[in-house]
Amino acid sequence: MKKETHNEYQKSLNSVIDYINDNLDQHIDLKVLAEIANISEFHFHRIFKALIGESVGSYTNRIRLETAAGLLRGTAHSLLVIAEKTGYSNQQSLSKAFKKHFGITPSAFRNIESFFTSKFNVNKIKSLEIQPEVRHVKSSHLTYLRVIADYNDQEESYKAWFKLWDYAMNHQLINGENELIGFNLDDPTITKKDRCRYYACISTEHAVKPFGEFGYLLLEEGKYAVFTIKGAYSQLDELYDFIYQSWVFESDYILRDSWPFEKYLNTIEEVEEKDLLTEIYIPIL
């Protein structure tokens, strides 16, 4: 496949995936997706599978169910509300699909505490005791590069960041005020590790037109609880564990239906690993 053709298909599929992510509560029609991609319906599903690694239907169903699992874990929403948020006509349909995918019913999944806590070191979580700063964050334009890989695969993430930075440099997007932001869209205790989605992003002064595998996101304005940690990125898992296993339940804040994100205040090229500074932004009401 020629590079120009590959870039066009990547750009088209980025638009499709963004549409699916934003519309899980709606009926997602293959014809509509093909129109968004500007690819004939006959060829669309084949190109999607070739570049994403799974069929449109499999990808959409998996994201719906993994989102439902996250809501069961992190919210008190009823099964009916979760069914509505993930595009199922009723809670019975969700329960049937959920059990087929995870091998356990939604109610059992929510109630089996050990399903989530077995891998956590409770003492480590409690010892963090990091208190967040509450901030109001303005919206900002982001150019992103998506990676589908194990979150612990640092080689893949570093490759993505170098590639994104090179793209930004070549397109005169660097202005000295750019922020480096990362979105971890999946929970590796729910999603297979090699299918986890990570978006490496750089902020820009204006909306940048998507090109090839480089897409565009608008970071939502809103209130966030901001946790700051110093040290290696490998510590971030422990901080997330503390946030979602302890702080969420003990704080007075309610989680907002938006993506959490990370902001990298320096890089491994600038400081030693022990001096890395990372902020985790948790959307709250």
- Are 15 and 62 part of one and the same domain? yes
Q: Give me the tens of pLDDT residue by residue for the chain, a chain 285 residues long.
A: 556 667 888 889 999 999 999 999 999 999 999 999 999 888 898 899 988 889 999 999 999 999 999 899 878 899 999 999 999 999 999 999 999 999 999 999 988 754 444 444 544 544 455 789 999 999 999 999 999 999 888 888 889 999 999 999 999 999 989 999 999 999 888 899 899 999 999 999 999 999 999 999 999 899 999 999 999 888 888 888 888 877 887 888 888 888 999 999 998 889 999 999 999 999 999
Domain co-membership, 84 together with 157: no
Residue 196 belongs to domain spanning:
133-283
In this structure, are 103 and 140 located in the same domain? no
In a domain, residue 24? The reply is: yes
The predicted pLDDT at position 28 comes to: 92
| Last residue of one domain, picked from the residues 82, 112, 142 | 112
* Residue 118 included in any domain: no
Total tally of structural domains belonging to the chain: 2
- The predicted structure's pLDDT at residue 45: 85
- pLDDT at position 120: 45
**Do residues 35 and 148 both lie within one domain?**
no
Does residue 167 lie in a domain region? yes
- Quick one: three-class SS letters along the chain? CCHHHHHHHHHHHHHHHHHHHHCCCCCCCHHHHHHHHCCCHHHHHHHHHHHHCCCHHHHHHHHHHHHHHHHHHHCCCCHHHHHHHCCCCCHHHHHHHHHHHHCCCHHHHHHCCHHHHCCCCHHHHHHHCCCCEEEEECCEEEEEEEEECCCCCHHHHHHHHHHHHHHHHHCCCCCCCCCEEEEECCCCCCCCHHHCEEEEEEEECCCCCCECCEEEEEECCEEEEEEEEECCHHHHHHHHHHHHHHHHHHCCCCECCCCCEEEECCCCCCCCHHHCEEEEEEEEC
Q: What is the predicted pLDDT for the residue at 3? A: 63
Q: What is the pTM of this model?
A: 0.83
